[in-house]
Each structure stands twice: as structure tokens, then as C-alpha cells.
Amino acid sequence: MTNEPFTSPVSLPVTSPVSSPDDEFNRALVSNVHPSDWKNPVPKGRYNLVVIGAGVAGLVSAAGAAALGARVALIERHLMGGDCTNFGCVPSKALIRSARAAHALAEAPEFGVNVAGAGSVDFAGVMRRMRRLRAQISVIDSAKRFANLGVDVYLGDAKFTGKKEIEVAGTKLAFSKAVIATGSRAAALPISGLQETRFLTNETVFSLERLPETLLVIGSGPIGCELAQTFRRLGSRVTIITDVMVLLPNDDPDAGRIVQQRFEREGIGMIFGTKILRAESGGEGNTLIFDRGQGEERVSAEEILVAAGRRPNLDGLGLEIAGVTTEKGHVRVDDHLRTSNSSIYAAGDVCSIYKFTHAAEAMARIALQNALFFGRKKVSDLAIPWCTYTAPEVAHVGMTHAEAQNRKTEIDTYTRELAETDRAILDGETEGFVRIHVDKRSGRLAGATMVGAHAGESIGEAVLAMTKRLKVGDLSGVIHPYPTQAEALKRAADLQLRSRLSPRIRRIFEKYFAFRR
């Protein structure tokens, strides 16, 4: 690859969240994911594949194509690694781990362990650790690494100039196939006065250098719940405000109730069923004025965090010039991830309801195969799990009970409480359950929900069963080391087998054993 300069190197906006604070870790991060002295290459003819966006879907597409010998261009206008590395999974899980450590000290006496001075949190140290680990991980997503893989990396704004041509930083790139993988960002809320509060989002919250004494979280989905519990455990007084009546509304209602009960015990305030009328900024800090059917009410905090939905990044791409159709703000694709332009595919948040890193990676693999090899891989064949990393964790794959009813799929449901699992009892982590839904006709696993300390680590077994179309009896036959919390999945599968022992079958066995005596 020849690194010839274009007009000038692309530098980050001075307001970029990863530029604050200006320390060695953020400088290392930026040098990896958006080096200020980067010089875009000069294209050498038509590319087999142009990838727009260097989040996980774009990185997987570009690296996979280059490994196969294709000529590949990767375009990123902001930060390589996308939301996951810079503002999502990586920094949030680093904070969650620190919050879990603080909480472990607080609850140590329950295990007969007395820790002098427990509960002291160095928030600046917590954030410094997060920035250090984020910079360390960012090497994997760096512009230099991908250039060394044989990918032509272009930094700058991209816009389609034809059905098989795109322009970046004044240079036009011709392509045979393209993948749109530009990701998503926090959705803006139409609340009067909210802009004046200088609210936080998942992009800016990780630039905090001082722990807010009080925090209002708008939204009760995964991001809102994870960060609400994290900041509470780090020492903030936190209140969640939401327009729905539950936490985690897309999960099993029993799962949301368990998380809500834990939040109540940890002192997190929750205001449900609200319509936020407006926001104000003044002497009380930041205030939300809302109505839940009893007239105007007010709640104030030092900081407001908006965690209510995501919006695909499609602005300025010139999709209409490329003949790419959108629908409800997303790129419209078929089951093979092909857009209305048969030469252009899409993967990840721009076209999916599943706004998860692992879903974007799986979709990118499908888009890559279909684009380069006339493949017929289908996104509908994927069994996509998700996990909310609260304590306890909530993980799910496949259908919920409500979805089964809507699809008129006949299922049997079996639940194993963690309170009946030895390892959970010994760990003091009995809040939670494993619930499986079994298709009555096939006996295969139709869906599973796990709530527990290690739900995210355990759900993979259920995902494998669904992907390989195994019967639930196969899960019952898996041998787990004893004791583990993951064993609860096996025990839930055992319940399905026992249910098949009808009174009639039991009477037959009784006669058989009586004969054998």
C-alpha cells in the first residue's frame, strides 16, 4: 500500500469525547483509532470491496476480505473500533468491573469477611483504569494494524457518487461490491430544554473526571440499567426515569422484576410510566418536569444521562445516489443483507434491530460471503443472544413466551430457580432462574432466558443448541462439572424429560418393575 497524502491529514474535532481528558491513555487511543498524521492511500484501480465504517461489522468485513486476497478499502470518518471500543462495550464493562469490586467490599461481611475502610472509591482511578484498558484493546482495531493486513484505510467523510463509486476526502473509489457498516449513535430525544442541560450520552459519560453526586438516567433498557447500577455502586445517588412500567422491557417480565428488586435494595430510584414534558437547568442543577397522570412533577440531579434508543449513522452518505433504500431510518436489506442496490450490502446497527457487537460481527460474516462469493447465507438463520450486564445479568436467545403466542407457536415452558442450584447457594447468588421454551412439535429449544451472576457466560450452550437444532434432551445429556451455576440449564432440560413421564407411562413401568422383582 502506498501512503500518499491527500489535501491534509484528518484530525479529530477538538470536542471529541476521546480527546478529554488529555492524558497518555487517550493520546494512545487516538493514535491507534484516528492518527492525526494519517495519510490516505492512492487507489490503484477498482476495489473488490469497499467497507464504509470501521466498527466491528466493518472491521470484520475488511479483515476477512483482505485475508482472502481481495483488494479492500476501509473508510472511517471518526474512530476505528466504532462504538464498541470507544464508547460502548469496552469502557462500560471496565467500569462495571470496578463497580462490582466496590460492591463486593460492601457486602463482604455477609461472607464473614470484615474489611476495614470498605466502600472508598477513587473515581478518578476507576476512570484512569478504564482509559488504560481501552487504549490497550484499541491496538487490535488500529489503522496501522489494518493497513498491515493489506487493507487500504481511508480516514474522512464518505459519500456515494454513483452506484459503484464512493468519494472520501476528495478521492473517488470505484468498487465491485460495498458493505455499509456505519453503526449507530444515541437517539436524540425531543424534550424541550434538554440541550441546555448538556446531558450525557454513552459517548460523553466516559469522559467524566469527577463522580456526579446525583444522576438522572432517562431509559430503562440495557444501557440505562447497566450504567445506573454502575454509578450507584461507585457512589452516585441515581434515579431512572422511563415512559414504560418495567425495567428491561424487551426481556422476560420476571427477569425485569428481579433486576428491579435488586435496584430497590441498592437504593436506585425508579420513576415509571412518565411523559417527560421539558428540562430545565438552574440552581438545582438539571431538572426534568414530567407527568405520570397526576399533574406535573419534578426531579433534579447534577447530571442527566440519556440512554433511550439508538439511531443509525446514515447522514451524508448519499444513499439516494447509490440507489440504496432506507426504511424507518434503517438501510433496507433482504435476508441475504443485500440492499436495493445489488452491489451494496449492509451489516450491523444500520440495518438490524439487534444493536449488539456480536450481532454485527455475525452479520458481517454473512454479508462478506454473499458479496464476494455469490453466497446465499441468510441472516434469519442466526440465533442471536443478548445479555444485559447488570447484577444479576440477564441473557436471552430465541423466542420469549409473548413472541411464541404472537407467532402461534405451541411451546412448553420449564423454569429452574437458581435457589435450587448448589453453586448459586454457595456463592450467595440465588437471585435468578433459567427458563427454556420447547417447541411442542419438534422438541427443539425455541428460546431461553437466564438470570444470574454468570448468565452471559452460560447462554452460549443454549445458542449452540438452537443453531444446531438440537432437541432439549440433548441439553439434558450434557455433563457439567460440579458445582457450577451453568448446571441450571441442564436441570431445566431435565424438567422437560420428566414431564414426558405421564401417569399411564408410570403405571406401565410400575408393572414392569413388579414383574422383575
Q: List, for residues 239-292, the tens digit of each pLDDT value.
A: 999 999 999 999 999 999 999 999 999 999 999 999 999 999 987 789 999 999
Q: List, for residues 346-359, the tens digit of each pLDDT value.
A: 999 999 999 999 99
Strands of the sheet containing 445-452, edge to edge, are 386-388, 393-398, 445-452, 433-439, 411-417
Give the pLDDT mean for 432-450: 96
Confidence band, pLDDT 50/70/90 cuts, at residue 227: very high
Q: List, for residues 493-514, the tens digit of each pLDDT value.
A: 999 888 877 777 778 877 888 8
* Alpha-carbon gap, residue 483 to 472, rounded angstroms: 21
Q: Which sign, positive or negative, has the C-alpha torsion 349, 354, 358, 360? A: negative
Other beta carbons within 10 Å of 53: 31
Predicted local distance difference test score (pLDDT) of residue 118: 64
Give 499: exposed, middle or buried? Use CB within 10 Å, 0-12, 13-18, 19+.
exposed
Predicted local distance difference test score (pLDDT) of residue 6: 33
Predicted local distance difference test score (pLDDT) of residue 5: 32
Give the pLDDT mean for 381-403: 96
For residue 64, report the phi and psi dihedrals to the nearest 5 degrees.
-65, -45
The answer, yes or no, to whether residue 14 has pLDDT greater than 70, is no
User: Do 95 and 235 touch, CB atoms closer than 8 A?
Assistant: no
The answer, yes or no, to whether residue 407 has pLDDT greater than 70, is yes
User: Do 326 and 340 touch, CB atoms closer than 8 A?
Assistant: no
Domain map (residue ranges) of the chain: 19-83+138-186+311-374, 90-127, 195-308, 392-499
**What angle, 0 to 180 degrees and rounded to 10, lies between the N-to-C axes of helices 455-467 and 487-499?**
50
Give the pLDDT mean for 78-105: 96
Does 19-83+138-186+311-374 match 195-308 in CATH topology?
Answer: yes
Helices and strands, number each (H, E), in the chain: 16, 23
Strands of the sheet containing 285-291, edge to edge, are 275-282, 285-291, 296-301
| Cell representation of residue 445 | 429449544
Predicted local distance difference test score (pLDDT) of residue 117: 67
CATH 3.30.365.10 fits 19-83+138-186+311-374, yes or no: no
Predicted local distance difference test score (pLDDT) of residue 336: 98
Query: Which CATH superfamily hosts domain 392-499?
Result: FAD/NAD-linked reductase, C-terminal dimerisation domain (3.30.390.30)
Q: List, for residues 138-148, the tens digit of each pLDDT value.
A: 999 999 999 99
Q: What is the 3-state secondary structure (H, E, C) of 37-96?
A: CCCCCCCCCCEEEEEECCCHHHHHHHHHHHHCCCCEEEEECCCCCHHHHHHCHHHHHHHH
**In a 3-state reduction of DSSP, which class is residue 398?**
strand
Give the pLDDT mean for 190-197: 94
Give the pLDDT mean for 37-52: 97
Confidence band, pLDDT 50/70/90 cuts, at residue 2: very low
Q: What is the 3-state secondary structure (H, E, C) of 150-184?
A: CEEEEECCEEEEECCEEEECCEEEEEEEEEECCCE
User: Do 348 and 360 touch, CB atoms closer than 8 A?
Assistant: yes
* Alpha-carbon gap, residue 45 to 406, rounded angstroms: 51
**What angle, 0 to 180 degrees and rounded to 10, lies between the N-to-C axes of helices 24-33 and 123-138?**
30
The answer, yes or no, to whether residue 93 has pLDDT greater than 90, is yes
The answer, yes or no, to whether residue 296 has pLDDT greater than 70, is yes
159: left (phi over 0), alpha (psi -120 to 50) or beta: beta
Lowest mean pLDDT among 93-97, 401-405, 465-469: 401-405
Lowest mean pLDDT among 2-11, 40-49, 94-103: 2-11
- Contacts of residue 103, Cβ cutoff 8 Å, sequence gap at least 6: 233, 391
Predicted local distance difference test score (pLDDT) of residue 8: 37
Confidence band, pLDDT 50/70/90 cuts, at residue 3: very low
**Domain 195-308 maps to which CATH number in 3.90.1150.10, 3.40.50.620, 3.30.70.360, 3.50.50.60?**
3.50.50.60
Confidence band, pLDDT 50/70/90 cuts, at residue 7: very low
Task: Share the mean pLDDT of the chain.
Answer: 93
The answer, yes or no, to whether residue 9 has pLDDT greater than 60, is no
Predicted local distance difference test score (pLDDT) of residue 368: 97
Predicted local distance difference test score (pLDDT) of residue 282: 85
